[in-house]
């Protein structure tokens, strides 16, 4: 049986990129500062020396250009990993992602796939203000033709990339920047993971807590504190926002009969709203209380730490929502 090694999400992701490039000569990484600088979040540090500038490519500060180049490379037989510095900046490439990468297979009548992987940092909590801190993965989950992945554990930071690279269609991976330094143990033989399934991280009977990405550690901590209050929560890591694993969501609700969704996106038009709708459509009569959600306040993310902390989902607000749902039934 394989042992485990202590690592971080950043190191696990770097190992995943390295392995992908070693296994497949078609794989290359490109983006702003991924080479000499080692990546804006140090994910690609050292890879330029190992693989050279042909496969670790620094790009100009033009998201539309290098995402478009990635689409072209993918359509011509390569397997590009395109790194966009933050999700906010991905909007500069939205035309390429929505009108090209997501639609070419459909508009070509199935003739042309776009096996492209786009990675980007997402989420707040780092005092980088509104242009670097939003969580827009729920927006992208609205788009047919792409997959949207949100790793929230070291295992998924390590394993999602290779599975994404094997997909014939575009895959977007949203990496919450607060998780890069998250430490934990990883199996020495850790490899690809199934990106099509949500994962029950903690079984419970009192209510279901659904979350993803950077909110997973907060949700797990809230579950521990809820247990000390006599509540037995189930924690489900959604992992993939498009396509949603509706079956796992509904199965959990049918066991616990209550649900709280933790979503770092804004409340209006959010992925949490979509999940609530699916629960209502498929398991309304299983519910013992209304579904609740904990979202980011509907403001541009503030710079001031105390204001940013107040705007984002917190352990305390998750606990409060859970207590209301459990207590609301009397």
- Secondary structure (H, E, C), 83-134: EEEEHHHHHHHHHHHHHHHCCHHHHCCCCCCCCCEEEEEECCCCCCCCCCCC
241 close to 271: Cβ distance less than 8 angstroms = yes
Torsion of CA 237, 138, 101, 121, to 10 degrees: -70
φ and ψ at residue 14, rounded to 5 degrees = -60, -40
Predicted local confidence at residue 2, as pLDDT: 62
The third-level CATH classification (topology) of the domain covering 199-327 is Rossmann fold (3.40.50)
Judge whether 132 counts as a catalytic residue. yes
Computed over its alpha carbons, how large is the radius of gyration of the chain? 20
Predicted local confidence at residue 286, as pLDDT: 97
Where do the DSSP E strands lie in the chain?
A: 4-8, 27-31, 56-58, 79-86, 117-122, 147-149, 171-176, 183-187, 199-202, 207-211, 233-237, 240-242, 259-266, 292-296
Nearest Cα to Cα of residue 274 among 298, 293, 248, 300: 293
Predicted local confidence at residue 330, as pLDDT: 38
Shared fold status for 4-187 and 199-327: yes
Q: What is the mean pLDDT of each run of 10 residues along the chain (330 residues)?
A: 85 97 97 95 96 97 97 98 96 97 97 97 88 93 97 96 96 97 91 94 97 97 97 98 98 98 96 98 97 96 93 96 80
Which pair of tokens denotes residue 162?
């290779």
Judge whether 298 counts as a catalytic residue. no
For the chain, the structural domain boundaries read 4-187, 199-327
- Superfamily for domain range 4-187: Thiamin diphosphate (ThDP)-binding fold, Pyr/PP domains (3.40.50.970)
Catalytic residue among 32, 63, 137, 308: 63
Predicted model pTM: 0.95
Catalytic residue among 11, 32, 83, 132: 132
278 close to 250: Cβ distance less than 8 angstroms = yes
Alpha-carbon gap, residue 261 to 307, rounded angstroms:
22
Alpha-carbon gap, residue 215 to 226, rounded angstroms:
16
65 close to 13: Cβ distance less than 8 angstroms = no
Strand partners, 295: 263
DSSP letter at 286?
G
CB contact set of 209 (below 8 Å; sequence gap of 6+): 219, 222, 223, 233, 234, 235, 236, 259, 260, 262, 318, 322
Greatest alpha-carbon pair distance for the chain in Å reads 64
């Amino acid at each position: 049986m394989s042992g485990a090694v202590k690592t971080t999400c950043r190191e696990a992701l770097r190992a995943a990129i390295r392995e992908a490039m070693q296994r497949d000569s078609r794989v290359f990484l490109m983006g702003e500062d991924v080479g000499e600088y080692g990546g804006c979040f140090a994910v690609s540090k050292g890879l330029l020396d190992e693989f050279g500038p042909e496969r670790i490519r620094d790009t100009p500060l033009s998201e539309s250009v290098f995402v478009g180049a990635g689409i072209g490379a993918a359509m011509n037989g390569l397997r590009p990993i395109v790194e966009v510095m933050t999700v906010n900046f991905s909007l500069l490439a939205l035309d390429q992602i929505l009108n090209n990468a997501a639609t070419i297979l459909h508009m070509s009548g199935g003739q042309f796939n776009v096996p492209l992987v786009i990675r980007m940092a997402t989420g707040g909590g780092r005092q980088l203000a509104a242009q670097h801190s939003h969580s827009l993965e729920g927006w992208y989950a609205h788009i047919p033709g792409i997959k949207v992945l949100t790793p929230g554990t070291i295992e998924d930071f390590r394993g999602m990339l290779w599975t994404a690279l094997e997909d014939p269609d575009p895959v977007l991976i949203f990496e919450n920047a607060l998780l890069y330094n998250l430490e934990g143990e990883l199996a020495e033989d850790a490899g690809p993971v199934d990106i099509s399934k949500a994962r029950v991280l903690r079984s419970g009977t009192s209510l279901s807590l659904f979350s993803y990405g950077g909110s997973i550690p907060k949700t797990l901590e809230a579950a521990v504190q809820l247990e000390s209050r006599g509540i037995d929560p189930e924690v489900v890591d959604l992992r993939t926002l498009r396509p949603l694993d509706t079956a796992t969501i509904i199965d959990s609700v049918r066991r616990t009969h209550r649900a709280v969704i933790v979503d770092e996106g804004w409340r209006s038009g959010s992925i949490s709203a979509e999940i609530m709708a699916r629960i209502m459509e498929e398991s309304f009569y299983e519910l013992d209380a209304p579904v609740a959600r904990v979202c980011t306040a509907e403001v541009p993310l503030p710079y001031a730490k105390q204001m940013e902390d107040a705007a984002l989902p917190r352990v305390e607000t998750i606990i409060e929502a859970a207590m209301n749902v459990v207590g609301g039934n009397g």
